[in-house]
Amino acid sequence: MLKVDLGRLRRERRVGVDEEVAPEDPLWGGIPLRLRGPVRLNVQAQQAAADVVVRGNVSGEVLLECRRCLAQVVVAFDEPVSALYRPGLEPREAAQQEVYPLPVGARELDLGSMVREHVLLALPEYVLCGQACRGLCPSCGANLNETACACPPAAAEDAWAPLRKLKRD
């Protein structure tokens, strides 16, 4: 339950959230993410005038595909989290100010969308199973890390060949 009780936060001025989000949680629905285990959220929410500041970290492991050979690679992440929730803003205004909207009159602050966003931003765009990964053969698709390919070597293209065909006037 990634929620902060705003009444408790007003009384205590600081509330900790130490939760795990299971891989099958609806929070991850609609995104191509294969979590290897639960995502751990450890943050402190603090009242700052009318705003709420959330700081801490999010960590976990995800399965991604190697960019060259498509093998499964386990990628661990442990990222700092910093978010500001501001009351009285429409979602569009909040996006322009790069803050999260805090619904007026809300009793709880849902951290779900913030956690989802931070996890997605923490993941690398491209992953390699190793620096020496040889990838797949472009002709037959064989994994060159596991087997030698029987395809003939590609003929080197001569970039100047089209220009040599032109006649000089």
What is the predicted pLDDT for the residue at 149? 85
pTM of the model: 0.78
Per-residue pLDDT at 9 = 92
3-class secondary structure per residue, the chain: CCEEEHHHHHHHCEEEEEEEECCCCHHHCCCCCEECCCEEEEEEEEEECCEEEEEEEEEEEEEEEECCCCCEEEEEEEEEEEEEEEECCCHHHHHHHCCEEECCCCCEEECHHHHHHHHHHHCCCCECCCCCCCCECCCCCCECCCCCCCCCCCCCCCCCHHHHHCCCC
Query: What are the per-10-residue average pLDDT scores of the chain (169 residues)?
Result: 89 93 92 92 93 95 94 95 90 88 88 93 92 91 89 77 75
